Every structure is written in structure tokens, then in C-alpha cells.
Structure 1
Amino acid sequence: MSVLKVIEVLSSSETSWEDATKKAISKASKTLKNIKSVYVQDQSATVENGTVKEFRVNLKLTFELE
């Protein structure tokens, strides 16, 4: 039987929501093993002078405990 744990992670990117998601997984995988899935719970962006300055994502990462 496997046991999975879910944590919440916040990330941002100046490029896109997809890039913010990839950055979060890359950073989390440096300290977490066995990441199985990611669920994008929320997306938002900051706007400055009429343009998007930063894309933000709130993710739920699922990983298997050893």
C-alpha cells in the first residue's frame, strides 16, 4: 500500500502560468521525492501600467511517502 501526501505551493513567473507551474515543480523536486501529480488550484496575475507583470499559481502537489 502506498501513502500519498498533498502540500500547497505558490509560484510566480513573468512569462506565463505554465512557466510558474514548471518552476514550482522544479524547485519542489529538489527536496521532495516521488512527486506524482500537480493540481492547479488557482491562477492570478499582477498588472502594472496596463500590462501583466507577473503570473501566479497556487498548486497542490501530491507525492508518495517512502
Structure 2
Amino acid sequence: MAVLKVIEVLANSNKSWEDAVDSAVAQASKSVKNIRSVYVNEQSAAVDNGKISEYRVNVKITFEVK
């Protein structure tokens, strides 16, 4: 039986929401091993002069505890 843990991570990107999710997983994987999945909990964006200037995500990352 595997024991799993979930952490919540906030990340941002100037490119896209997908890039922000990639960034969250990449940053988390520096200190968390055995990542199994990522769940996008919330998406938002900052707007500047009528254009999106920053994409933001709140994700839940699930990993196995060994």
C-alpha cells in the first residue's frame, strides 16, 4: 500500500497557464521526490493595459511518501 501526500503550490508565468503548471512541478520536484500527479485547483491572470501580463495557478501536487 502506498502512502500519498498532497501539497499546494502557487506559480506564475508570463507565457501561459500550462507554463505556470510546468514551473510549479519543476520547482516542487527540486525538494519533493516521487511526484505522481498535479491537479490545477485555480487559474487567474493579471491584466495590464487590457492584456494579460501574468498567468497564475494554484495547484495540488501529489507524491508518494517512502
Tell me the TM-score normalized by structure 2.
0.98
The one-letter amino acid paired with 1:62 is T
Following the alignment from structure 1 to structure 2, what is the Cα–Cα distance between the partners of residues 50 and 4?
Answer: 42
Identity %: 61
Following the alignment from structure 2 to structure 1, what is the Cα–Cα distance between the partners of residues 65 and 55?
Answer: 30
What's the RMSD between the two structures over aligned residues? Answer: 0.4
Deviation at 1:35, TM superposition (A): 0.2
Deviation at 1:59, TM superposition (A): 0.1
- Specify every segment of 5 or more residues in structure 2 that has no aligned partner in the other structure, as ranges: none
The runs of at least 4 aligned residues of structure 1 exceeding 2 Å deviation read none
Following the alignment from structure 1 to structure 2, what is the Cα–Cα distance between the partners of residues 60 and 27?
Answer: 13
Count of residues in correspondence between the two structures: 66
Deviation at 1:61, TM superposition (A): 0.2
The one-letter amino acid paired with 1:21 is V
Following the alignment from structure 1 to structure 2, what is the Cα–Cα distance between the partners of residues 35 and 64?
Answer: 7
> 1:43-54 maps to which residues of 2 (within 5 A)?
43-54=43-54
